[in-house]
Amino acid sequence: MKAIKSKFSIASYLTIAGVVLIIVSSVLTIVTQVNDGSLDLIGEFIVFGWIVFYIIWWEVRNKIIVIKIHEQRITVKSLGITKSYILSNFDGYKLAEVHSKTKSYEHLYLFKNGKRMVLISSFYIANYKQFKDYIVYESTYLGIEPYGFINEFVQGFKQ
């Protein structure tokens, strides 16, 4: 089998650009307020910290990832951390449908011992279908995973 390596979608690049834009604009706002003497330090840092924490912790760490499948091994790299799994050691996979205003996307979750271990998103991975086709062929379908912001947020801390 030829190795499959993920390719980022445009949404991945836009998310990264958005993170940079939010950080730069927040820093510029804080610097301007310090110079004006109108800084609400606690409020600014709470809002800024929450946005950066959420985006980096959840969106970047769990979704904007480099995935490679080769010889029954799946390797996931995110924020400099690489994890490698043997595909046959997973219980199977579940699918979730994610709706936006303009389009629906699909998430594929790989489960091991009842726990979500890997998330592959059609929103962030341009060649998602290649991964899905391979995993569907090699793994057991475990059903539909309910999707909701709160559930995703909680699961982000469990991974």
Collapsing DSSP to helix, strand or coil, 126 comes out as coil
Would you say residue 142 has pLDDT above 90?
yes
C-alpha to C-alpha distance for 102 and 81, rounded to whole angstroms: 33
92 conformational bin, left if phi > 0, alpha if psi -120 to 50, beta if neither: left
C-alpha to C-alpha distance for 1 and 57, rounded to whole angstroms: 33
Report which secondary-structure segment, H or E, holds 108: strand 104-112
Please indicate, yes or no, whether the overall pTM of this predicted structure exceeds 0.75. no
What is the reported pLDDT for 35? 74
Range with lowest mean pLDDT among 42-46, 64-68, 75-79, 106-110: 42-46
Buried residues in 23-60 as b, exposed as e (16+ CB within 10 A): eeebeeebeeeeeeeebeeeeeeeebeeeeeebeebbb
What percent of the chain stands above pLDDT 90? Answer: 31
Top-confidence residue, 19 or 159:
19
